[in-house]
Amino acid sequence: MRELKKSLIALNILLVFVAVFIALSVGPTKIDGFFQQLMQPGSNEILWQIRFPRVIAAVIVGAAFGVAGLMAQGASNNALAEPSILGTSSGAALGAVIAILFGLAQVGSIAATISGVIGALLATALTLKLASLRGNLSSFALIIVGIALSATLSAIVGLTSAMITQADARSISFWNFGSLALITYENLVGVAATTLIGLGIAWKVAPSLDRLSFGDDTAFHLGINVVKARWLALVALSLLAGGAVSTVGIIGFIGLAAPHIARFIYGPSHRLLVIQSALIGSLIIVFADTLARSIAAPNELSIGLITSLLGAPILIALVSIKNNVWRVQ
């Protein structure tokens, strides 16, 4: 069984490489001598200055959104949680937009990433605080409060971005539906750093999340510092979602779809799920972004629409086949 899981991880890594290769080779422009150009970094401008940073960004933010969803579900012990539902994504967008409003950052800059992470952390903490005002954190309260807070923060993002006159402020549609269209190498630095740190924390906290899935009391008796584990997961969630949202906007559904697809295939162990949610998230975003920029070429489609179109049917199909994959058995 362990060997099988290792093989599946290897297979998924291979799939991500294949997807990256296909994404680099496909686009509205035909690149003559693609293999030759690929072997010579910097040789072809469209390949190396436009497509390459965009595909790498897709890998990074896919992994970030995928594991952010896993952390959201693990920390709240709620299968429905994801960054967009807990207010994390809209908090990140608001953090970045405020920094841009005050001229402190530009989209994709490290300053915007930091602001996004802070916004994400504050919004998520606020959701959890408000949802547990009347005692224990109930799933119902968490989802309702999260949706309400997300809506409020998104509205503020809309109002704020309408007020911004700074260049590169981006519109509400960018913050709501996401886009990888204008990614440059410079934009990758901040999100790569937050994603790496976020993945590291997620890996570290993963065994505690296994215990937390039995409920706070059981986890406590199993020797878990529940408060610490939950906070670590929230910090990972905020780093991952905050970095990704401040760079490419909110790409919905990956945070929900990637961990659930991973659970269906690999079971509920969080360490495995960290790896697999990252790989599946990357796969979906790389695939979706390739479609977004090539199926209606030379026009560009919204990636958020494609991820929903791709992710939702897969999720529905998986749940209808097998729906008991939530807790450690």
Partner 1 sequence: MSILMISGCANSQNFLSKSISQEDVTALSVSGTQNFSVKRVVVLANGVAEIMVALNAKSILVGRDISSNEDSLSDIPIVTSGHQVISEKVIALNPDLVIIDASTGPKAAIEQIRSAKIKVIQTPESWSLEDISPKVLAVGSAIGAPGAAKLLINKLISQGTIKQVSGNPKIAFLYLRGTSTVYLIGGPGSGADSLIKEIGGVDVGAENLPRAFNTLTAESLASLNPDVLLVMTKGLESVGGVQGLIKLPGVAQTEAGKRKAIIDVDDSLLLSFGPRSYSLLTELAKSVEIVMQ
Q: Which stretch binds partner 1 (CB under 8 A): 6-14, 162-170, 204-212, 231-239?
A: 162-170
Rounded Cα distance between 22 and 36, Å, is 15
Among 66, 119, 170, 270, indicate the residue that binds partner 1 (CB under 8 A).
Answer: 170
Contact pattern from residue 33 through residue 62 relative to partner 1, giving x for each residue in contact according to CB under 8 A and a dash for the rest: ------------xx--xxx-xx--------
Rounded Cα distance between 239 and 203, Å, is 13
| Smaller CB separation from partner 1, 136 or 165 | 165
Exposed/middle/buried for residue 304 (C-beta within 10 Å: 0-12, 13-18, 19+):
buried
- Contact criterion met (CB below 8 Å) for 233 and 172: no
- Contact criterion met (CB below 8 Å) for 211 and 222: yes
Residue showing tokens 């969630």 = 237
- Contact criterion met (CB below 8 Å) for 78 and 326: no
Closest approach of Cβ 23 to partner 1, in Å? 12
Closest approach of Cβ 67 to partner 1, in Å? 25
Rounded Cα distance between 281 and 152, Å, is 27
For position 25 contacting partner 1 by CB under 8 A, the verdict is no
For position 169 contacting partner 1 by CB under 8 A, the verdict is yes
Closest approach of Cβ 117 to partner 1, in Å? 22
Rounded Cα distance between 179 and 289, Å, is 9
| Smaller CB separation from partner 1, 27 or 69 | 27
| Smaller CB separation from partner 1, 163 or 319 | 163
Q: Which stretch binds partner 1 (CB under 8 A): 8-16, 86-94, 145-153, 163-171?
A: 163-171
Among 20, 24, 27, 247, indicate the residue that binds partner 1 (CB under 8 A).
Answer: 27
Residue showing tokens 């990614």 = 183
Rounded Cα distance between 89 and 201, Å, is 19
The interface with partner 1 within residues 256-315 (CB under 8 A) comprises: 293, 297-300
For position 110 contacting partner 1 by CB under 8 A, the verdict is no
Task: Characterise 128 by phi-psi region: left (phi > 0), alpha (psi -120 to 50), beta (else).
Answer: alpha
| Smaller CB separation from partner 1, 46 or 226 | 46
- Cis preceding linkage at 207, omega within 30: no
Residue 110: CA count within 13 A, CB half-sphere: 5
Closest approach of Cβ 303 to partner 1, in Å? 10
Footprint of partner 1 (CB under 8 A):
27-29, 45-46, 49-51, 53-54, 161, 164, 166-171, 174, 179, 181-184, 293, 297-300
